Structure formats: C-alpha cells, structure tokens
C-alpha cells in the first residue's frame, strides 16, 4: 500500500475495540443492588427514579403527572396524548431482564388494542423501533421482545373477564436470550414461550408512549392515544423467578440474585460470534494486512439499501414489512411497510469498486441462502449459508471488482451487516509518522478524554462485559517540572468474574484533566493539529497463553469503533491465533480524519 506525502500510519493496539476470546469463562453480572434491581420509579412524589443504574431523570415528558391514589402511595397518571421516557443505557438490558409495574386502566377497556409500555432500540430498520412492548390486545395482554434479526419472541393471554377500570393489576414480563419469555399477571404466570434468541442490541429509551419511542421521536398521536395509571415501575437485570414476581405483586421485594446457568450463557456467547460451529481463519503469517472494502453501491432491486453495510448492528437489510412473515411481527397494529418493496428482501446486490480485491466475506444476521459473485457476464457461487447461523466467515477465491449478491431462501430474513475484506500477508507501511501505544492493564481509564466512551460502555454493556484498558504512549508520560500528567490516573479495579471481552481505549490527548486532578503542561500525545489522514492501525497481538478450543485455536473478534459514534463498527473482523504465537494485524483504514476526541 502506497502512503502519500500527507498520509500517516498510526501503530496502536486498537480503537475502542472489542477483543473477545472464546476461551475465557462467562460469569454472571452482579448488579449494584443485591436483588438485581436496575431501575425503580415509585412515582410517589415525582417521575425521577428512586433508584437507577443509569440516568434517573425522564428524558421526555408531557401529559404525565402524579396522582395520590396509587397502588403504593402515589402513582403516574398518563394522559391519552401524554408520554414519559427514561434513558435505557444502564437502566435496562436487552439480553435478559424483568419489567414489573402496577397498572390501572382508569378508563374501561374494550376490543380496541393499545400500547401499555414500550422500550425502543438505539437504532433500527423498523419505524417504531420497538424492542419490547406490552399491550392490551382487546381480550387480554400481549408482550414481546424483538431479537437482533427483527423476529419477536411473543406471548399472548386471553382473560376470562376484563379488568375493572379502577382496579390495580400487577404486570411483569421477563425475558432471557437463553430461555425465552414469561408473562405474569398479579404474581401468576399466565403465558410463556421457551425459545433461545439473539437479543444482543443497543437500547435507547423506555416508558409510556402510545405510538413510537425511538431516538428520533417519542409520541402518542392519532389512533395511538390511550393513557392509564402506573405505579412502582421496576426493571431487573435478570429473569425473576416466579416466587420473586409473586413477592412484587404482594408489594414485597424479591430475594437476592441466585446463580445463573453459566453453561447456557456461554453457549449464547459462542453462538453470537459463530464459534459454536467453527473457528475463524487462523493468522498464519507474522504480519497480516486487512483492508475492508467499502461497497460502491448496495441495492435491493432498484432501491439503495445501505443498512446492511453501515456498520450498525441494529439496522438491517431488508427493512420491516407490515404483514411480516417473520415470527411475532404481524399483529393488530397495521403500520405501513417501512422502506421495503413487496418483492424486496430476496436478494441483496453489492458493488465492489473496480480494482478492489475480495477474498473473505463475513455476515452477521439470520439470513440463510447463497452468496454469489458476478462480473456482469457470468455468475459463480461463493458460499452457502445455513439456517440457524447468526455469524459466518467465508474465505473465498480472490475476486476483483464485480458484484456480490446474497440470495435469501426466506424473504425478509435479515442481514445485520455484511463485510468484504482483502486479507493476506503483508507489511505495516511506514507512513509520514506513527503514534505508538502500549496497553497498560493496571491503569484506570478515568481520563478526561475518555469520559464519553466510558459512559457509553457503562450503558451499553452488562457489568461483567465492561472491562476497559487504556493505550498509553509507548515512550511513557512526561511532564514539566512541578506539573502533573493527564494520564496519571488511578489504578484499575478488576472484576474476578469478567466476561471474555475487553475495550481498549486510546485517548486523543493527555492534556485535559478531570476535576481535582493536576493539569498536564509541556507534554501531550495525540493527533490534534495534525494535517494528515489516519492510514490505519497496527495491532501487535502478544503470544497468548490462554487455553485453546478443541481445534487448538484461540478465536478473536476485533472491532474498530467509529470515533464519532461508538455504536458503529468501522471494522468487525474474526480471526484465530495459536497459543504462544505473536501476530501483527495491519488494519487498513485509508485516510480517516480523526476528531479531537477519544477513539
């Protein structure tokens, strides 16, 4: 790869990335509260949460006030056109949890369905972005969670008698990606579905809104206007046992968290990365170059459809269909087809820029079918993707230019993301200059330049998946006489039950300081005022002594996060290394302009 006069190569370990080792053990997250409580809004005096692992203050609020006649003290009174939403990060998890509250319809219910509670995705391909919803379905209650591939794990219950308008009922809905969902009314399980699912997703907000709750709007409008009363809204970080739900319905606290099924959680982890089937390709060369190919075009029929190649796992190709074939999606709320053709969702055509080579394709998502390549005159099948897979890696014969096509067996089954790579032995380019870093596991990441990233990680990941390390200048920190250093943070505190994931953070600067810390003077290390583009990142993977899998390999997943938006991956790569073999990966990014912030 040639390096122009105004380009540079930066050598580091990785950019706010996720490095996941399949060989480590999975352990349960331990919430701050012994019962696993993440969020509690009693609504006795206000709508600010009494307890919150995330933000306790409502993010949106209109037409929701406090009424004194709650099930326990005061309660939230939701007007028909009102809404209230709390931020989801830290307060609710997608992979598992329990939502519970007391509910009173206030106005008699009838045959018309309406939404009772919502949780929205951080981003999505559906219009309303509903991850979780609890509804009055016209004869009882429906509840669901949406998996990472648009399908819904859903239960429905028909009541013998409709609830009285002035009666408080206790509602609870629990979900776990390793076991399924449970719906409880007044402490009794009334519906369940036993099903494993991939529920790993970013969430945005949760609360009361009739029509939509998403990053772009929260509202109750049109025929989605139906208020009611709520009390004691609680969210837990695990699926509560039936005895614990009964305790909540009886206005008591649940028991402390009990040990979880570690084997099931580990299996879900391996499945998410595709490591339950096969290990990704091994790094045989001492230095391997990796270039992600940015597609020149992405189309479904004649429609530009970029959501399968945008680096955001929550968005998909195709979009969502109103009367969907996917499990659990077609219900009593008939919404317009969202950004789809009637004949869409069958084939995804991706144009490789002329002169660019591709020899590996990775796919995340539930779509199953065939991957083909065409030069415009002939078509060759490259791989077949089986049903039941959510992550696959296919090494293919080298292709230059042309078009990649994925043909779905089941229309609508989505691709979350598809990556095309040019991978092979190579060397790290010289560039105009380098910034060199060494990962220091003993140093805490509580640096001023890393504040936003630390907040994102704490909200997006479970406590056992928040392990962070900081990349420090390889030459060490320096300071003027009598001055502090911005990188002289506290010693990191480590969990003993951490999941096999680590976030490596690279500060853009060591000059700023947190309150009550000395400012750094006469020294800094970063890319401010640099008039060059980032050409790439080299990761020196040390010789690992971790226990290999049955194939004798250590699988790794390496993600390069967008410095402007950590919810987006610039590179998401699966590789394997052998124990005690050091390797270097050169990740070619080609002239990215970095902001003056953290990466």
Q: Which residues pair with 172 in a beta bridge?
A: 100, 184
Both 406 and 438 in one domain: the answer is no
* Those residues with Cβ within 8 angstroms of residue 128's Cβ, 6 or more apart along the chain or in another chain: 120, 211, 212, 213, 214, 335
Decide which of 421, 438, 471 is a domain's last residue.
421
Tokens of 146: 């949406």
Q: Is 244 helix (H, G, I), strand (E, B) or coil?
A: helix
3-state SS assignment for residue 238: coil
> Alpha-carbon dihedral of residues 265, 271, 274, 280, nearest 10 degrees?
30
Q: Alpha carbon of 515 to those of 50, 70, 127, 223: distances in Å?
A: 27, 42, 42, 50
CA atoms within 13 A of residue 308's CA, in its CB half-sphere: 32
559 is a domain residue: yes
Instruction: Tell me: do 251 and 350 sit in the same domain.
Output: no
In a domain, 597, yes or no: no
20 closest CA partner among 581, 598, 577: 577
Query: Which residues 6+ apart lie within 8 Å of 496 measured at CB?
Result: none
- Indicate if 392 and 509 belong to the same structural domain: no
Instruction: Tell whether the torsion through CA atoms of 328, 124, 92 and 504 is positive or negative.
Output: positive
Question: How many C-beta atoms lie closer than 10 Å to residue 164's C-beta?
Answer: 12
Which of 230, 258, 286 is at the close of a domain?
258
Distance CA 379, CA 399 (A): 12
d(CA 76, CA 13): 49
Q: What is the CATH number of the domain that holds 396?
A: 2.60.120.260
Positions in the chain whose pLDDT score sits under 70: 1-31, 336-338, 477-490, 520-522, 591, 596-599
Burial call 460-481: b when 16+ CB within 10 Å, e when fewer: bbbbbbbbbbbbbbeeebebee
Looking at the structure, tell me whether residues 56 and 180 fall in a common domain. yes
- Give, in order, the Cα–Cα distances in Å from 319 to each of 146, 303, 434: 14, 11, 42
Domain residue limits at 147: 37-258
Token pair for 318 = 């195709």
Q: Is 501 contained in some domain?
A: yes
Per-residue tokens: 517: 């810390």
The helix or strand, by DSSP H or E, that contains position 264, with its residue range, turns out to be helix 262-273
Residue 541 structure tokens: 């993977």
| Residues 161, 234 within the same domain | yes
Between CA 145 and CA 152 the distance in angstroms is 6
- Whether residue 249 sits in one domain with residue 159: yes
Residue keyed to tokens 């499990």: 327
pTM metric for this prediction: 0.91
Q: Is 283 domain-assigned?
A: no
pLDDT at 443: 84
The whole-angstrom separation of Cα 404 and Cα 357 is 12
User: What does the alpha-carbon distance between residue 526 and residue 572 come to, in Å, rounded to a whole number?
Assistant: 24
φ, ψ for residue 492, nearest 5 deg:
-70, 140
46-54, long-range: CB within 8 Å, 24+ apart, which pairs?
Answer: 47/76, 47/84, 49/86, 49/91, 52/86, 52/90, 52/91, 53/90, 53/91, 54/86, 54/87, 54/88, 54/89, 54/90, 54/91, 54/459
Residue 2 lies in a domain: no
Q: What's the total number of domains in the chain?
A: 3
Q: Looking at residue 7, what is its pLDDT?
A: 34
Residues 204 and 337 in one domain: no
Task: Return the ∠ at Cα 276 (arms to 270 and 281), rounded to 5°.
Answer: 95
Q: Same domain for 512 and 481? A: yes
Q: β-pairing, 51-52 with 130-136?
A: unpaired
Q: Is there a domain that residue 79 lies in?
A: yes
**Residue 270 counted as domain residue:** no
| Contact criterion met (CB below 8 Å) for 135 and 144 | no
Nearest to 360 by CA among 457, 281, 476: 281
- Identify whether residues 471 and 365 lie together within a single domain: no
CATH number of domain containing 169: 2.60.120.200
Same domain, 201 and 58: yes
DSSP letters along 23-78, please?
TSPP-----SSTT-EEEEE--SS-SS-SEESS--S-SEEEEEEEES--SSS-EEEE
Least Cα distance to 503 among 548, 544, 535, 456 occurs for 456
**DSSP state, residue 276:** T
Kindly state the DSSP code that residue 12 receives in the 8-state scheme. Answer: -
Contacts of 526 (CB under 8 A, 6+ apart): 435, 449, 507, 508, 509, 510, 596
- Examine residue 268 and state whether it is found in any structural domain, yes or no: no
Domain boundary among 421, 450, 471: 421
Same domain? 56 vs 21: no
Element (H, E) at 270: helix 262-273
pLDDT of residue 17: 32
Do 450 and 405 lie in one domain? The reply is no
**Residue pair 113/332 in contact by the 8 Å Cβ criterion:** yes
């Amino acid at each position: 790869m040639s390096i122009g006069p105004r380009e540079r190569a930066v050598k580091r370990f990785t950019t706010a990335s996720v490095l996941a080792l399949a060989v480590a053990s999975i352990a349960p997250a331990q919430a701050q509260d012994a019962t696993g409580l993440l969020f509690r809004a009693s609504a006795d005096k206000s709508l600010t949460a009494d307890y919150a692992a995330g933000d306790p203050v409502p993010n949106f609020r209109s037409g929701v006030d406090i009424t004194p006649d709650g099930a326990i003290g005061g309660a939230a009174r939701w007007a028909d056109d009102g809404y209230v939403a709390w931020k989801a990060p830290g307060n609710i998890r997608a992979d598992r949890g329990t939502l519970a509250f007391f509910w009173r319809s206030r106005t008699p219910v009838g045959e018309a369905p309406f939404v009772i509670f919502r949780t929205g995705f951080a981003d999505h391909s559906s219009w309303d972005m509903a991850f979780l919803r609890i509804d009055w379905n016209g004869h009882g209650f429906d509840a669901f969670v949406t998996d990472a591939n648009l399908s819904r794990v859903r239960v429905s219950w028909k009541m013998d008698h409709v609830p009285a308008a002035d009666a408080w009922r206790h509602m609870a809905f629990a979900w776990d990606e390793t076991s399924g969902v449970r719906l409880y009314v007044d402490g009794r399980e009334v519906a369940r579905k036993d099903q494993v699912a991939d529920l790993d997703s970013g969430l945005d907000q949760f609360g009361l809104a009739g029509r939509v709750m998403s990053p772009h709007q929260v509202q109750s409008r049109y025929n989605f206007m139906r208020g009611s009363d709520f009390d004691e809204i609680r969210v837990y970080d695990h699926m509560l046992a039936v005895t614990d739900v009964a305790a909540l319905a009886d206005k008591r606290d649940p028991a402390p968290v009990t040990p979880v099924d570690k084997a099931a959680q580990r299996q879900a982890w391996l499945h998410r990365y595709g490591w339950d089937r096969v290990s990704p390709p091994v790094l045989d060369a001492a230095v391997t170059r990796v270039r992600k190919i940015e597609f020149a075009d992405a189309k479904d029929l004649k429609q530009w459809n970029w959501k399968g190649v945008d680096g955001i796992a929550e968005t998909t190709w195709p979009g969502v269909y109103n009367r969907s074939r996917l499990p659990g999606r077609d219900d009593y709320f008939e919404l317009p087809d969202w950004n789809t053709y009637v004949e869409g969702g069958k084939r995804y055509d991706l144009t490789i820029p002329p002169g660019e080579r591709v020899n590996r394709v990775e796919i995340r998502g539930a779509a199953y079918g065939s991957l083909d390549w065409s030069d415009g005159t002939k078509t060759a099948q490259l791989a077949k993707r089986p049903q039941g897979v959510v992550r696959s890696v296919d090494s293919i014969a080298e292709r230059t230019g042309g078009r990649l096509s994925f043909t779905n067996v089941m229309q609508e089954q989505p691709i979350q993301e598809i990556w095309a790579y040019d991978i092979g032995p190579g060397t790290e380019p010289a560039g105009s200059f380098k910034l060199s870093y060494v990962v220091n596991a003993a140093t805490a990441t509580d640096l001023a330049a890393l504040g936003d990233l630390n907040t994102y990680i704490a909200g997006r990941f479970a406590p056992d998946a928040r392990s962070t390390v900081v990349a420090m200048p390889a030459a060490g920190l320096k300071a003027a006489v009598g001055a502090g250093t911005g990188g002289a943070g506290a010693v990191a505190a480590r969990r003993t039950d951490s999941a096999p994931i680590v976030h490596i953070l690279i500060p853009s600067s060591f000059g700023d300081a947190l309150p009550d810390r000395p400012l750094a003077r006469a020294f800094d290390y970063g890319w401010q005022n640099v008039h060059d583009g980032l050409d790439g990142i080299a990761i020196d993977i040390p010789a690992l002594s971790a226990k290999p899998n049955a194939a004798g390999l250590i699988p790794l997943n390496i993600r390069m996060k967008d410095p402007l938006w950590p919810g987006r991956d610039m590179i998401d790569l699966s590789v394997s290394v052998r124990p005690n073999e050091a390797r270097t990966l050169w990740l070619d990014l080609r002239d990215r302009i970095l902001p003056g912030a953290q990466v």
